[in-house]
Amino acid sequence: MKSVQSRWMKKIITGLIMFLFLIVTVSAVLFYFIFTNDLKDQLVRTNVELLDHMEQKLDLVLKSIDNEAIQLVQYDEIKTFFDDSMPQGERTENDYRIGSHIDRLIRSNEYLFSVDIYSYSQDRLVSGDILTEEMRLKDYAWIGQFAQFDGYSNWLASRKLLISNSNFPIYRNVVSFVRTYPLIHSTGARKGAIAFNLKEEMLLPLIHHEGDAQGLNLVLDKGGLVVLHPDESKLGENMGSTPFVAQMASEGKSVGYFHAKVENKDSIVFYKVNPYTGWRITRIVSEIELNKPLTVIRNTLVVLSGLILLTAAVLALAVGRWTFKPLNRFLGTISSRLNAVSPGHTGEAGGDGFRILESRFEDFLVNSEQLQQQVRETKPILKWQLVIELLSDSKINISNTRQHMGMLGIQLDMNRFVVMVAEFDQRNESLTAQDTHLYNYALCNVAEELIQAEGKGVAIELENGCCAILMSFQDSGVEAELRASVVADLIKNYVAENFKRTVTIGVGGLAEAAGEISQSFKQACDVLAYRLILGSNMVITRDDVQSDESAQYYRLVAMTDGMMDSLKLLDGEKLKAQTDRWFEAFTQYGVPPEMIRQLNLQCLMKAAVVAGEAGIEPEQFRMPQEMRDALNQYDSLDEMKGFFLTMLREYMDLIRTKRGKREKSDLIVKVLDYINKDFGRADLSLNLLADELRVSVSHLSRLFKEQTESNFIDYLMNLRINQAKRLLMETDEKIKVIAESVGYSNVNTFIRIFKKLTALTPSEYREQRQEQQE
């Protein structure tokens, strides 16, 4: 037994050492590549930022010189210098004053070496010297070049300027800026030029630092001439044919970097074009210098990895022996305990004592699988129960609920929710309960898969044959309902394409907290009921069935109530007059075309509801999509109004035909006359009318609803509110007086009912009507 344990221990320790070796090696390699890549990116960004900094400093100095040139030209002495008609004596005195200005300017600007002012017409400098041909070719070559230059200013590359013409001539490296006189002129009107010569050794520190041994910084002009370079021998050299300079020009970018060979060394060339001068500020960094930090890191990692591997091997040998002693004791204890529980298995132990453990653990695994199977079978029920509690108005502890959601496979963000209710159409099909359950199960699976693209959610089958879909959103935004509608469209299209069936989905409002989920669920159920009007195979949202909250929208919607009353009373002339006023209001309010079409469609659907209440079968109505398409094809209000009136007349004819089949009741005529005459009585009720006309309340209620297609309370309430509207518009009586005159002894009750039917208080209604009349 001990020899078996010894072999087993050696194998485990050897495997542990190999595992540690693999972990350390892989970690070191991964760390090296990840860190070095990041470090390379940082080095590149650092060089680019350094280039930006150099460009900004150089640009600031050059622009300041340009400003000095512009200010110098404004002096009267400069303007007088270019006047050809000035006498010689005055000219000499003027030249002296110009020299004073130039001296002050040079003393105030450390970058400025000298200033040359030249007149083309006089062919002389401000010093009075007449240029020789030798001077034109050497120090003043810019004069001939700038005479035909197509522009007003130009920055020249570095050049040597003669200071002392002795046996040992002295030169100075300068960078010149030339500006025309006048500053702005037409072709052929150039009188002269002013050249500012800048000290090259003062400009060089702007791009070069003695301590920067990693890279080489230089400045090239558009043609490849060297403007600034740490090596003075390179100044003014044409490097345009150099491969890396040619590549910079060919790329055509304002900023960038690339790999190239510079002086037979692999290097990275960074460059940026100064938009003011067109110069290329260039930085050349040798890849050997760039990779020095990476080499140090690599060598350090190799040493550390070796030390860690050596330490791990020693620790594995030492700790392994110390660790497996209690493990052996543990195995012995487990074996003795298992043998005590099931002594029949001792014969299977064999020589090493591990078979009995294998047998026991196999029993444990079998029992665990059975337990997991029971949990899997129970999960759908628990999931259904948990979602039902969220959808219902029951008070549950959300914090306690969240810890069970992961176990049940429910993923929700517990802060923003939208509930959707989906139901298959064609409910009259002869499907068994099992088939319906399978369709709903497939629909729930499809919904959960599609939800993952927009957020998190869960879907379950409800007892009434519908499917409830709960979506949650982590981010805060007003588009949650819109995103839920998009998912609903995806579900609807998927069902139509793969199930060959249609489904209608109602989308509830946004619930900001888990406690408001039941409200969103109720809204989804409510809007789903509008399938009777809007049709099947649709996604119905609250926007499809709810009115706009704006006062303008409410005024237009409120006008349709009178039109529906005229439709119920089959008063065609009044209905046409009301329709004319309604369409005039569109023009008066400046209603957008899309809202006009939506209001027309909504009014036609309300008319369909009125016709449905009259007993008209839904099959006789036009489909909402058909009416929407018809409304969209009209480009003028007159054509749309003609279609609208035609539809209302169709409904009116259907209602008239339906009512013609009913028996007319003289009793209801008396009741209506009584109501229209005494609607102002506060005690007017169905019981009072039944006593007055000596009939039973139930018979009168049933007959009234059959003949008027409305119950008594709604009819009386609408009549009183319409009369109150008329009094509010035609009189200045107080609200309380009007309430009592139309049969409401309690003014608060009157205001509440008025606002419910018109969405406005009586005072607001009166103010709006007065504004419209004005």
Check which CATH number belongs to the domain holding 83 and give it. 3.30.450.20
Domain match, 508 and 578 both:
no
Domain match, 84 and 206 both:
yes
Of 605, 631, 660, the position where a domain reaches its end is 660
Q: Which two tokens mark 373?
A: 């199977």
Residue 469 lies in a domain: yes
Domain match, 628 and 726 both:
no
CATH of the domain at 447: 3.30.70.270
Residue appearing with tokens 């002009």? 221
Domain match, 655 and 683 both:
no
Of 498, 525, 545, the position where a domain reaches its end is 545
CATH of the domain at 764: 1.10.10.60
- pLDDT > 80? residue 346: no
Residue 603 lies in a domain: yes
The pLDDT assigned to 351 comes to 44
Of 503, 529, 545, the position where a domain reaches its end is 545
Domain match, 138 and 153 both:
yes
Residue 355 lies in a domain: no
Residue 242 lies in a domain: yes
Domain match, 721 and 588 both:
no
Residues spanned by the domain of 510: 378-545
Domain match, 218 and 280 both:
yes
State the number of CA atoms in the 13 A half-sphere of 543 facing the CB: 7
Residue 569 lies in a domain: yes
For the segment 131-140, what is each residue's pLDDT rounded down to a tens digit?
Answer: 555 566 566 7
pTM: 0.39
Domain match, 655 and 671 both:
no
Q: Buried b / exposed e across 604-621, counting CB within 10 Å, b at 16+? A: bbbbbebbbebebeeeeb
Domain match, 571 and 680 both:
no
- Domains in the chain: how many in total? 4
Residue 354 lies in a domain: no
Domain match, 530 and 576 both:
no
Pairing of strands 503-511, 539-540: parallel
Please choose, from the candidates 233, 197, 216, the residue with its C-alpha nearest in 3D space to the C-alpha of residue 281. 216
Q: How many CB atoms lie within 10 A of CB 632?
A: 13
The pLDDT assigned to 341 comes to 54
- pLDDT > 90? residue 282: yes
Strands (E), 165-322: 170-181, 192-199, 215-220, 226-228, 255-262, 265-273, 280-286
For the segment 40-76, what is each residue's pLDDT rounded down to a tens digit?
Answer: 788 788 888 888 999 999 999 999 998 988 888 888 8
Residue 696 lies in a domain: yes
Domain match, 678 and 587 both:
no
Contact 567, 655 (CB under 8 A): yes
The pLDDT assigned to 349 comes to 42
Q: What's the whole-number mean pLDDT along residues 116-144?
A: 70
Q: What's the whole-number mean pLDDT along residues 191-218?
A: 85
Residue 236 lies in a domain: yes
The pLDDT assigned to 1 comes to 43
Q: Which two tokens mark 532?
A: 């009777």
Mean pLDDT of the chain: 80
Domain match, 93 and 209 both:
yes
For the segment 629-641, what is each residue's pLDDT rounded down to a tens digit?
Answer: 888 777 677 888 8
Contact 220, 233 (CB under 8 A): no
The model's confidence at residue 585, banded by pLDDT at 50, 70 and 90, is confident
- pLDDT > 70? residue 354: no
The model's confidence at residue 450, banded by pLDDT at 50, 70 and 90, is confident
The model's confidence at residue 273, banded by pLDDT at 50, 70 and 90, is very high
How far is the C-alpha of 555 from the C-alpha of 561, rounded, in Å? 10
